[in-house]
Amino acid sequence: MFEQFFFYIFATVAIVSAICVISVRNPVHSAVFLIVCLLQVAAIFVLLRSPFLAAAQVFIYVGAVMVLFLFAVMVLDMGKAHWKEHLHGQSAPAAVLAGILFILLGYMALKGRMTAPLGTYNEAALVKNTEVVGRALFTKYIFPFEVVSVILLLALVGAIALVMREKRP
Partner 1 sequence: MPTLDLILEVILLTVKVAVLTQIIFALPMPLTWLERKIAGHIQVRLGPWRVGPHGILQPFADAIKLLFKEDIVPDKADKILFKIAPLIAMVPAFAVFAAIPLGDTFKIPVIGAEVKLYLSDMNVGALYILAIGGLSVYGMILGGWASNSKYALLGGLRCSAQMISYEIAVSFAVIGVVMLSNSLNLLEIVKSQGGSFLSWNFLYLPVGPVWFAIFLIGSVAEINRIPFDLSEDEGTLSSGYHTEYSGMRFSFFMLAEYVAMVTVSILSVIFFFGGWNAPFAFLSFIPPIAWFMGKVCFFIYFFMWVRFTLPRYRYDQLMKIGWKILIPLSLVNILITGLMLI
Residues that bind partner 1 (CB under 8 A): 26, 28-29, 32, 35, 51-52, 54-56, 58-59, 62-64, 67-68, 70-71, 74-75, 78, 127-130
Rounded-to-integer distance, Cα 32 and Cα 74, Å: 12
Q: How far apart are CA 45 and CA 59, in angstroms?
A: 13
Type of residue at 59:
F
| Least distance CB 106 / partner 1 (angstroms) | 31
Residue 67 or 147: which CB sits closer to partner 1? Answer: 67
Nearer to partner 1, 67 or 98 (CB): 67
Please name which of 77, 8, 85, 97 lies closest in space to residue 44, comparing C-alpha atoms: 8
Q: Which of 40, 28, 33, 110 is nearest to 71 (CA)?
A: 28
- 158/137 Cα distance (integer angstroms): 26
* CB 164, min distance to partner 1, A: 17
Give the nearest distance from C-beta 111 to partner 1 in angstroms.
Answer: 32
Q: Smallest distance, Å, CB 36 to partner 1?
A: 11
Separation between Cα atoms, residue 65 and residue 142, nearest integer Å = 24
Q: Tell me whether residue 67 or residue 157 sits nearer to partner 1 (CB atom).
A: 67
Judged by CB, which is closer to partner 1: 18, or 70? Answer: 70
